[in-house]
């Protein structure tokens, strides 16, 4: 036997994993959450305006409220990194600190930020280049910055940055913000600090110790102090590949019960092949996954 045995181990501490834990706790399943970042990417979100019961709420606030509910049910959250998952009679999970066993596991690891992969991006990462406006916006007070991308995350990042910076460029490769909600587009268009540059791609980020500017494929050269990259995400495939789970474009394929192609393994949230990547759908999938795990455990007793 390993150090500890659980009914359900949840890998990932974002909305899907946390909601699953709430349901598992109410089902009285012995449950553990393992996740490096409490709240996942939602903790970096500036404003959430489509979560029921809140007109708007920051990602950090919502994360705190959900975690408080999870802990009130007596569920422990381990800030560890899962290194390996093995399936024997039960699932064996090895982290950087401990070893655990579980009857069922839920993979809710979400996605990773997509990189631009242009010259200068790695050089200035953390020193003028950021993937998190919520984390770093305050460092650019009275500066000039650019946000690269055209989704909701890019537009909300630009609006947050406009509260600090003296000028914000939004650079997007398409001709319109077709992926963003009209409400965010309206706010961006009405903000005098924000300038929109469409049909343009960043070719290079240049500077000495920090970024001094960027070159676009439209021959424009913009002088600035920082770049925020919001060009979407890619699925975290480290577990699906090692376990041999069925995937679709890197996302784990699940059925209506959130079951994967391997019995006893469930998946929920942005890592699944559900098209709508939202907090509310992640929570719903987490609830379904925990319920499915509970029902399966009951059958096996």
More confident of the two residues 275 and 180: 180
When comparing pLDDT for 28 and 276, which is higher? 28
Q: What is the pLDDT of residue 112?
A: 87
As assigned by CATH, the class of the 115-229 domain is alpha beta
pLDDT in the model for residue 22: 98
Cα–Cα distance list, 69 to 11, 20, 49, 62, 226 (Å): 18, 12, 21, 11, 37
By 3-state DSSP, what share of the chain in percent is helix, strand and coil, each rounded to 5? Answer: 30, 30, 40
> Which has the closest alpha carbon to 283: 265, 269, 271?
269
| The two domains 4-112+233-300 and 115-229 share their CATH topology (first three levels equal) | yes
Q: Report the C-alpha gap between 21 and 8 in whole angstroms.
A: 9
pLDDT number for residue 45: 80
DSSP string, 53-93: T-S-B-HHHHHHHHHHHHHHTT-EEE---EEEEEESSSEEE
Predicted confidence (pLDDT) at residue 83 exceeds the cutoff of 90: yes
- Residue 184, helix vs strand vs coil: helix
262 pLDDT exceeds 70? Answer: yes
- Mean pLDDT across the chain: 93
Q: What pLDDT, in 10s, does the model give residues 173-213?
A: 999 999 899 999 999 999 999 999 999 999 999 999 999 99
pLDDT of residue 147 exceeding 60: yes
Locate 87 and state its tokens.
């399936």
Chain-centre distance for alpha carbon 191: 27
Per-residue pLDDT for 271 more than 90? yes
Q: Which of 2-6, 51-55, 144-148 shows the lowest per-residue confidence on average (mean pLDDT)?
A: 2-6
Whether pLDDT at 40 is above 90:
no
pTM (two decimals): 0.82
C-alpha to C-alpha distance for 33 and 260, rounded to whole angstroms: 19
Question: What pLDDT does 232 receive?
Answer: 87
Give yes or no for a contact between 127 and 259, defined as CB atoms under 8 angstroms apart. no
Domain assignments of the chain as residue spans, ordered by start: 4-112+233-300, 115-229
pLDDT for residue 88 is more than 80 = yes
Q: Specify the fold of 4-112+233-300.
A: FAD/NAD(P)-binding domain (3.50.50)
Closest CA to 104 of 239, 274, 265, 222: 265
Helical ranges in 182-278 per DSSP H = 182-190, 238-243
Tell me the mean pLDDT in the region 140-158.
96
- Dist. CA 77–CA 6, nearest whole Å: 13
Whose CA is closest to 275, among 186, 182, 179, 183? 179
pLDDT at 3 over 60: no
51-81: b (≥16 Cβ within 10 Å) or e: beeeeebbbbebbeebbeebeeeebebbebe
């Amino acid at each position: 036997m390993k150090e500890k045995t659980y009914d359900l181990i949840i890998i990932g501490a974002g909305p899907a994993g946390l909601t699953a834990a709430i349901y598992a706790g109410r089902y009285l399943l012995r449950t553990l959450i393992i996740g490096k970042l409490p709240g996942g990417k939602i903790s970096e979100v500036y404003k959430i305006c489509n979560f029921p019961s809140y007109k708007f709420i920051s990602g950090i606030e919502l994360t705190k409220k959900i975690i408080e509910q999870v802990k009130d049910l007596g569920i422990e959250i381990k800030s560890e990194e899962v290194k390996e998952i093995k399936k024997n009679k039960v699932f064996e999970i090895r982290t950087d600190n401990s070893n655990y066993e579980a009857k069922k596991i839920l993979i809710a690891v979400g996605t990773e930020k997509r990189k631009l992969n242009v010259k200068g991006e790695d050089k200035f990462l953390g020193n003028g280049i950021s993937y998190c406006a919520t984390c770093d916006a305050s460092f650019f007070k009275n500066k000039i910055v650019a946000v690269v991308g055209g989704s909701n995350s890019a537009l909300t990042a630009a609006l947050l940055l406009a509260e600090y910076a003296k000028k914000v460029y939004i650079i997007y490769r398409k001709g319109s913000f077709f992926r963003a909600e009209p409400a965010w587009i309206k706010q961006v268009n009405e903000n005098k600090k924000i300038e929109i540059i469409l049909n343009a791609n960043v070719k290079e980020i240049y500077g000495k110790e920090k970024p001094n500017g960027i070159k676009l494929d439209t021959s424009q050269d913009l002088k600035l102090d920082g770049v925020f990259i919001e060009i979407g995400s890619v699925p975290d495939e480290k577990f699906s590949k090692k376990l041999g789970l069925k995937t679709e474009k890197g996302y784990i394929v699940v059925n209506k019960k959130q079951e994967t192609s391997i019995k006893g393994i469930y998946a929920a949230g942005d890592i699944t092949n559900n098209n709508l990547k939202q907090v509310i759908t992640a929570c719903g999938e987490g609830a379904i996954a925990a319920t499915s795990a509970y029902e399966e455990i009951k059958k096996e007793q």
